[in-house]
Amino acid sequence: MGLQRFEFTQVRMGVDARIIVYAHDEERAVRACRAAYTRISELEQMMSDYRADSELNSLCQQAVGRWVRVSPKLFYVLWRGQKLAQQTDGAFDVTVGALVRLWREARHTGKLTDEATLRSAKARSGYRLMELSLPRRAVRLKAEGMQLDLGGIAKGYACDWALRVLRRHDITRALIQMGGDIVAGNTPPGEQGWRIELTEGGATILSNAALSTSGSTEQYVEIDGVRYAHIIDPRTGLGLTNLVLARVRARDGITADSLATAAAVLGETGAKKLERLYRGVQVHIVKPGGS
């Protein structure tokens, strides 16, 4: 029998996680996708900042002033985040959690944070306050009350893992989407690739590659006529106020996801720099900054 298309959607990491596969029968499709979702759940339990008992949050509790060994996957994601932070002079920064919390509060109350609270959160943010030791596979934090946040990188990584799990189940023609992050495997049968409709119009073709979109147009809070997006500009400590949409095509999801968030902060010139740093990556600013 030929290949049939199967599609599933479940909520993971706060978004709809969609998996599309081509398989010989439903049973195989279901078994493979169930395993993929299980892996995504495991990653969520490691990396969520919403869950009090996630590995990430217990790390934040325990690692102030002392080395705490973490699981290999969590270490890898923190390592990639830290590398990108160094490359972008902190435009991408997984230690912005305290500032993200303030943004969420502002979205809830509709009020901007007062200066003192903002200053305190800024003092607990900054990638230089997080140390990583590769030989120990451990993390040490330099300030009390630091909050790590992998919201800008973990979904792409989860998509990568989902594809890997599907392949172990002999499914290679697959696509995984989690919010703005997409990872595609082999093409659907008889097709050139996966056709991705773009929000701004048009479409693009994807196979064995990842595509991530980040920006200030989707999630924001409006206060006194100013829109603050869910992506923090670490220089101000506030959500991005300019209208920007960045899109990255890369070989894997973790790269596309993290670089898209970074590019949203950095804009056009930063996008060029990211392309030079990461070979084979395409960074495209769809909507430029400005008011």
At its nearest, how many Å lie between ligand AMP and the CB of residue 118? 15
Q: Which lies closer to ligand AMP via its Cβ, residue 10 or residue 219?
A: 219
Which positions touch Mg ion (CB under 5 A)? 152, 214, 257, 260-261
Of positions 48, 54, 214, 255, contacts ligand AMP by CB under 6 A:
214
Which residues inside 64-93 make contact with ligand AMP, applying CB under 6 A?
92-93
Binding mask 156-175 for ligand AMP (x = CB under 6 A): --------------------
Of positions 60, 77, 100, 121, contacts ligand AMP by CB under 6 A:
100
Of positions 96, 102, 158, 206, contacts ligand AMP by CB under 6 A:
96
Angstrom CA distances, 192 to 48, 187, 189, stand at 36, 6, 9
> Applying CB under 6 A, does 121 fall inside the site for ligand AMP?
no
Of positions 234, 253, 270, 289, contacts ligand AMP by CB under 6 A:
234
Question: For residue 57, what are its two tokens?
Answer: 């949050």
Interacting residues with ligand AMP (CB under 6 A):
92-94, 96, 100, 149, 151-152, 180, 214, 230-232, 234, 257, 260-261, 264-265
